[in-house]
Chains A and B, each alone.
Chain A
Amino acid sequence: MSGVDTNNRISRKSFIAQVAAFTLLPLACKSKYSHIKGSILGANATKGHQLRREIPQLPHTKSAKKVVIIGGGVSGLSAARQLQKNGVTDVVVLEMNDTPGGNSLSGKNEITAYPWGAHYLPIPDCADKELLSFLHSCGVITGFNKNGLPIYNEEYLCFDPEERLFINGYWQEGLIPKFGVPLAEQAQIKRFLSEMDNYRKAIGNDGKDAFCIPVNKCSNDYTYKRYDEITFEQYLKQNNYNSTHLIWYLNYCTKDDFGAGIDKVSAWAGIHYFAARKGKAENASHDDVLTWPEGNKWLVNQLQKGLEGQIITNALTYSVKQNQKEKIEVTYLNGDDAHLIEADVVVLATPNFINKHIVEQELLTHQQLNANAMPWMVANITVKRFFEYTKGLPLSWDNVIYGNAGLGYINATQQHLNQPSDKNVFTFYYPFCNKSAAEERQRALGLSHKDWVEIIIKELEMAHLDIVNHIEQIDVWIWGHGMVLPEPGYQKKLASLQPAHPRIKYAHTDFSGISIFEEAFHQGIHAANEIIKQYATNV
């Protein structure tokens, strides 16, 4: 060794040092998240907010239709479908976005389709013949057994394992906290669930189910409707429910279905969440759900079948007025051109807050709900396959982390029949519900992609310590106005609505107070049936 030229050693040393410096320097400058791609999508706020301005433009074309449906969400499509089934085909649906679906939108990458919003449908009640018939027509129900119970296509029933909750360092099965939960609290949770079970079976003095779907079929018995007057939080206090774990779980549930916690939603809505689901099936039970990689966009696609040519996308309706002929003139923007349609009847399948911006005052009498809708963030996260160091149930459909503000994530490939590849997509749901809807909306729209990445990763790291190294992309969708918030008094407000203008029909879950697929589906059918009745009596 003594013979080694010292100059050589130095040069070798410095050579290595230089190589190291060149490769390591950029790494040191990079942030922990800089490898994560993605952007903020959706919301279509700029487009929608055009409504706030006057659009002084003469219509480019004029045409006439029997029915114009404004809004191509589930309610609007369901109305169009019901009309068509009953022979009313001179119908057009105006959808603001480039694809119908409303809250049930989806995206797709090379790995899978994934939802941007609503993503499952619980097994419906057997009394809901219309929904069963729709599901039968699109192959979700393959047939009925000899007792009349539907048989579901197992490709659409959520695959096992369905739900897991990360609590006390362990992934337990199911979302109701139990692992490491003190026995006294477990007893309280049990008491709560059995009380909800009783409400599920309860029948009001008018012979109707105390709680069911659709909401307008629920009993008006004050024994149950009085829960509309208080918050869910007040109800829980009155009934001595104070278990931290139970309260967390109930907050999770109401946030999941209504976008806000127990302090904001009514006790009636809170109980409805637990007591209204009474689906039965040959091969599933009331807590089973139907789901698809693209979420409820799959159902939207089925609703759309047969409506080809009746849906106009990128059609921003900005004016609904009555003309001298007492018909309704609907004007919409498509690109830069305005178009006018003269309609016998207009279905407002739009969120209620939109209506006052587009419909003239005289047509809107007594139909102002002033409903609040909390903002939401949905993220789709592309992850490379990683090893879970945590114990318990492996990756499930719904993965929730106890104690987090977010609602956890859905495995978008859960319903894939094929073997998993080396990448996956998680759909992450995050409601904004601490302050008022307007304040939260401002906050949600003010956050940058970098902020979002940080929020999401911090939540995921609670259960997946090294997940940041496995994330490739995070795309974020902001829903400025998410789902209707069923505040105390909301059901009463709905009950006291005056009859609408005869040429205007409403079809939106804002008129149920609960934003779920079933309600939207029935809202559409209800509006369509009224139109069909009107035509029948006029003829």
Chain B
Amino acid sequence: MDSIPKVSKREFNSHMLLLISVFVVATCGLIYELVAGTAASYLLGDSVTQFSTIIGVYLFSMGIGSYLSRFFNHNLLAWFIQIEIMVGLVGGFSSTILFLLFGFLSYFRLVLYSLVGFTGILVGLEIPLLMRILEKKYEFKELVSKVFTFDYIGALLASLIFPLVLVPYLGLLRTSLFFGILNILVALIVCNRFSGEIAWSGRLKFIAILSIIALTLGFTYANELLSWSEASAYQENVIYAKSTPYQRVVLTQSKKDLRLYLNGNLQFSSGDEYRYHEALVHPAMQSQTTPENVLVLGGGDGLAVRELLKYKQVKQIFLVDLDKAITNLFTTNELLTTLNQHAFSNKKVKVTNADAFIWLKENKLKFDCIIVDFPDPSNYSVGKLYSQTFYKLLTQSLSDNGVAVIQSTSPFIARTSFWCINNTLKSVGFNTIPYHAYVPSFGDWGFHIAYKSKQLITADTFTVNTRFITNEVFKQMQMFPPDIAYMHTEVNKLNNQVLVNYFEHEWSRYQ
């Protein structure tokens, strides 16, 4: 404390400014770390692993930064300001980058850890540099005491306000952007105060102001960058959202599972999708002795294809899905390809992005098995894909002994709709086997096997590896208790679209 009287008031203020900047820098640093950890848990799930690896990488990178600080020997203040600006930019935009890139990158983790590492190195440089800037102004013991006191107070503040104030009120994107702005503001103030001691101070100020503008723009348009209003409509965390020309694609992640929504309708939950896809694929496939050529209509998530690839006899799988954005996502995204076991990278699989109706109309090939996995008939456009005209095309693309299977919505919630699909299939000459399976995230879910031959021999055993379906289970699936038993309905045609009306009526009653 005896060094204080030796300095003028102005000098004292300068020192205090630097110490306050230690405080802000420390707060910001920890915030970036927390943001990265939280974003990774959002996007990849398994928060324990994410937080622990990110803290590890971050601290280690700070160590690297501290080591690197020895190579900075001149213009320390200028360096400090430049590092501040850079850390503000990288840290500030880190969550934005993570959210925006999540859908496009196969090596998402690499980007994630690189960002964390880079931020860590920059933050690691800060404190040693500051200490050296201040080393002439304080006694060593006082310097260490002061710097680390401010450092740890900053850390405490960050760790408290992050979960209590920032995430609930600002959201992840804005939190990191806000602290990026704060970080650069410190750089600007320091730069201004010490402009006499810094070469290029004008240029540094200009860069700092530009960076603040960039971050402020990001802050203002954060809502547009990622639709938080939409995120609040989902119970889980939205980790990916994109509007394609055809639909709104949303991926969510919670502790339990990963979910895909199209136009707000759940397509699968990673927790129980195997039940759905085993029920969809295996009963039909097991009825074929040598299913060589298989067609999947819809099913751009590749999960049905994953099940199909369990059959060694299959020579070729055609998948026709409307939306390139979906098939691309499920071909490249690490998280999603883990789920479909890289189904679309298999040589047997040929993915075509086309409209199923038009594709089928022009198709000349015959298939042993056709998997029809469209969204529910909740509007008149999708309703066309459940019409008599569509099923006529389906019969033409099926080999004589071939078999088709059609996802047919829930017979419990939409009993009339389910049997309407059955009656429409029969109206074009198909024989059908209706069945239903319990998929917890969906409820009681219905399917139809459709075939042209007189009789379909369903296998006694399921020859491939399954977690859910067995011969006994499949037998039970074909039982329809009285509350969901067969009922007479009209046939769904392009010019009456009764199915859409049934469906809308039944689901609106349920919701």
Taking Cβ atoms with an 8 Å cutoff, the residues of A that contact B are 1, 3-5, 8, 12, 15-16, 154-155, 157-162, 283-284, 288, 394, 417-422
Can you list 16 residue pairs at the A/B interface with Cβ under 8 Å? A3-B17, A4-B189, A5-B192, A8-B205, A8-B209, A154-B387, A154-B388, A154-B389, A154-B493, A155-B494, A159-B495, A160-B500, A284-B495, A417-B358, A417-B389, A419-B357
From A159, A284, A394, A421, contact of B384 by CB (8 A): A159
Shortest A412–chain B CB gap in Å is 15
Interface stretch, picked from B24-32, B73-81, B143-151, B374-382, is: B374-382
B358, A418: Cβ atoms under 8 Å?
yes
B494, A154: Cβ atoms under 8 Å?
yes
A419, B381: Cβ atoms under 8 Å?
yes
A533 to B192, CA, bound (A): 104
Q: A2: nearest residue on chain B (CB-CB)?
A: B189
List the B side residues contacting A159 at CB < 8 Å: 380, 384, 494-495, 497
B322 at the interface (CB under 8 A from A): yes
List the B side residues contacting A161 at CB < 8 Å: 380, 497
Q: B194: nearest residue on chain A (CB-CB)?
A: A3
From A1, A5, A15, A154, contact of B495 by CB (8 A): A154
Q: A162: nearest residue on chain B (CB-CB)?
A: B495
Shortest B309–chain A CB gap in Å is 27
Q: B388: nearest residue on chain A (CB-CB)?
A: A154
A4, B495: Cβ atoms under 8 Å?
no
Q: A422: nearest residue on chain B (CB-CB)?
A: B245
A419, B322: Cβ atoms under 8 Å?
yes
B357, A288: Cβ atoms under 8 Å?
no
B246, A421: Cβ atoms under 8 Å?
yes
From B192, B193, B358, B495, contact of A157 by CB (8 A): B495
List the A side residues contacting B205 at CB < 8 Å: 5, 8
A283 to B358, CA, bound (A): 23
Majority secondary structure of chain A interface residues (helix, strand, loop or mixed): loop
B497, A418: Cβ atoms under 8 Å?
no
A500 to B263, CA, bound (A): 65
Which residues B470-495 have CB closer than 8 A to chain A? 493-495
A154 to B497, CA, bound (A): 12
From B213, B384, B387, contact of A12 by CB (8 A): B213
B257 at the interface (CB under 8 A from A): no
Known A3-B192, A4-B192, A16-B213; judge A420-B494 contact (CB<8 A): no
Provide the B403-427 mask, 1 if CB < 8 A to any CB of A, else 0. 0000000000000000000000000
List the A side residues contacting B245 at CB < 8 Å: 421-422
List the A side residues contacting B466 at CB < 8 Å: none
From B189, B193, B209, B384, contact of A417 by CB (8 A): B384
List the A side residues contacting B193 at CB < 8 Å: 3
A157, B494: Cβ atoms under 8 Å?
yes
A155 to B389, CA, bound (A): 8
List the A side residues contacting B197 at CB < 8 Å: none
B188, A160: Cβ atoms under 8 Å?
no
List the B side residues contacting A422 at CB < 8 Å: 245-246
Q: A161: nearest residue on chain B (CB-CB)?
A: B380
A154 to B382, CA, bound (A): 16
Known A4-B189, A420-B381; judge A283-B357 contact (CB<8 A): no
Q: B322: nearest residue on chain A (CB-CB)?
A: A419
List the B side residues contacting A160 at CB < 8 Å: 380, 494-497, 500
4 pairs of A and B residues whose beta carbons are closest in the complex: A418-B355, A160-B497, A417-B357, A422-B245
B15 at the interface (CB under 8 A from A): no
B342 at the interface (CB under 8 A from A): no
A362 to B322, CA, bound (A): 64
Beyond the given pairs A417-B361, A417-B384, A419-B382, 16 more chain A to chain B contacts, judged by CB atoms under 8 angstroms and listed by A's residue number, are A3-B192, A3-B193, A4-B189, A8-B188, A12-B213, A155-B389, A158-B495, A159-B380, A159-B494, A283-B495, A284-B495, A394-B380, A417-B355, A417-B389, A418-B357, A421-B245
